Amino acid sequence: MTNLKKFVTGQNAGNKINQLGIFRFRTVLNIAMLLQNNDVAKYVRNRILDIVIDVLAEKTGGSTKYINQKDPDFIPTAIGEIQNRKKFTDALRDYVDVGNYKYGYFTNLVYEYLFKENAEEYRNILKLDKKNTVRATLYSEVLVEISSYEAGIAYEIEKKYNEQSKKLLKEEVEKIIYDMFNHPKEQPRIQNIRTKMASRDLNFRDALHQKLQEYIKEVPTEEYDKFLNDQIKIIAEQLEENKDVFERLKDK
């Protein structure tokens, strides 16, 4: 490997080769992927990703925390999430007899059941400051799952309230959330979303979710194009077009 790195250094290139070609990131990645289970291919692939992520970090203000927004599905997902989030917070407001801390408490409970971390732990892993909202950094698939569960929890809370004609206690809401996440049919969904988040964050953000290490897998090659394509602007660069949406993406 030492000889390989020495061979391709700029100062030696003129002495070693007659022609020098320039390839797109995707082309070189495809070449590397053809040599699976090969140390050279792994080295080339890792070096390419390091370079591309460094470039993206520079273009996005020194961080890849919003690389999730390069997904074209992010905007419609974020809009749908806002609606379901409102159902969740409205249900907590109208049908749950707990103080105002209930919004953060039950949101964290959803996070913990879904990816074993509360909001503060997630912030620390991605090195977010207080002005960065957690949900603006989540992949669209993660947002879909959170949105789906929050809408389902809201439905069950209202249903329970109508059955007993009184507001729910903290323990009753906890049981609703526990039962929903621990149903056997939910386990494949939960495993899938943990795998996506843990694997992508490690590869694209160099962020390790220690509680999800067992779910880390190699990221499919098509996802490199999806998230590391320099031609696709992150949504942060299009705020004027989508300003209203992102002003409403706030944690409660």
pLDDT tens readout for residues 156-188: 999 999 999 999 999 999 999 999 999 999 999
Domain that holds residue 156: 68-247
**Helix (H), strand (E), coil (C) string for the chain:** CHHHHHHCCHHHHHHHCCCCCCCCHHHHHHHHHHCCCCHHHHHHHHHHHHHHHHHHHHHCCCCCCCHHHHCCCHHHHHHHHHHHHHHHHHHHHHHECCCCCHHHHHHHHHHHHHHCCCHHHHHHHHCCCCCCCCHHHCCHHHHHHHHHHHHHHHHHHHHHHHHHCCCECHHHHHHHHHHHHCCHHHHHHHHHHHHHHHHHHHHHCCCCCHHHHHHCCCCCHHHHHHHHCCCCCCHHHHHHHHHHHHHCCCCC
* Co-location of 93 and 113 in the same domain: yes
- Structural domains in the chain (count): 2
Residue with more model confidence, 212 or 236? 212
What does pTM read for this prediction?
0.70
- Tens of pLDDT, residue by residue over 42-80, are 676 666 666 655 555 555 554 578 888 888 888 888 888
* Co-location of 84 and 51 in the same domain: no
* Co-location of 177 and 145 in the same domain: yes
* Co-location of 48 and 91 in the same domain: no
Look at residue 65 in the predicted model and tell me its pLDDT: 80
* Co-location of 217 and 169 in the same domain: yes
Residue 199 inside a domain? The answer is: yes
Residue 27 inside a domain? The answer is: yes
Residue 189 inside a domain? The answer is: yes
* Co-location of 29 and 81 in the same domain: no
pLDDT at 84 over 60: yes
* Co-location of 211 and 111 in the same domain: yes
What average pLDDT score do residues 94-109 get? 96
Residue with more model confidence, 190 or 248? 190
Residue 184 inside a domain? The answer is: yes
Residue 252 inside a domain? The answer is: no
